[in-house]
């Protein structure tokens, strides 16, 4: 086998490698750059035209639902009067 010097060298490598990787990947500049890029990929900047289209769609769906509810209430009132 290698002896005690090889074991000390291996132990130093086993302890140094994770600490070095932790130090390397947790630098504020690297971390901030990575977080910013990932956030932009997941949540792209909002487009005003898309936002308006979504709001218009929501508005038309609500109006349609309101008309349906109003028609159902009027029909219910007619049935009660008869």
Task: Express each pLDDT in 31-57 by its tens digit.
Answer: 788 888 999 999 888 889 999 999 999
Mean pLDDT (the chain) is: 90
Whole-number pLDDT of residue 33: 85
Residue 68 — very low, low, confident or very high, per pLDDT cuts 50/70/90?
A: very high
Give residue limits of the domains in the chain: 1-43, 46-81
Q: How far apart are CA 47 and CA 64, in angstroms?
A: 26
User: What pTM value is reported for the model?
Assistant: 0.46
Q: Residue 18 pLDDT > 70, yes or no? A: yes
For 1-48, the DSSP string reads ---HHHHHHHHHHHHHHHHHHHHHHT-HHHHHHHHHHHHHHHSPPPPH
């Amino acid at each position: 086998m290698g002896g005690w010097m090889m074991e000390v060298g291996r132990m130093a490598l086993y302890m140094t490698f994770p600490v070095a990787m932790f130090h390397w990947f947790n630098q504020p500049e690297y971390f901030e750059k990575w977080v910013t890029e990932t956030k932009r990929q997941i949540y792209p900047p909002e487009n005003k035209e898309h936002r308006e289209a979504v709001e218009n769609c929501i508005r038309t769906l609500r109006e349609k639902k309101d008309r349906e509810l109003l028609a159902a209430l009027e029909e219910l009132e007619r049935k009660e009067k008869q």
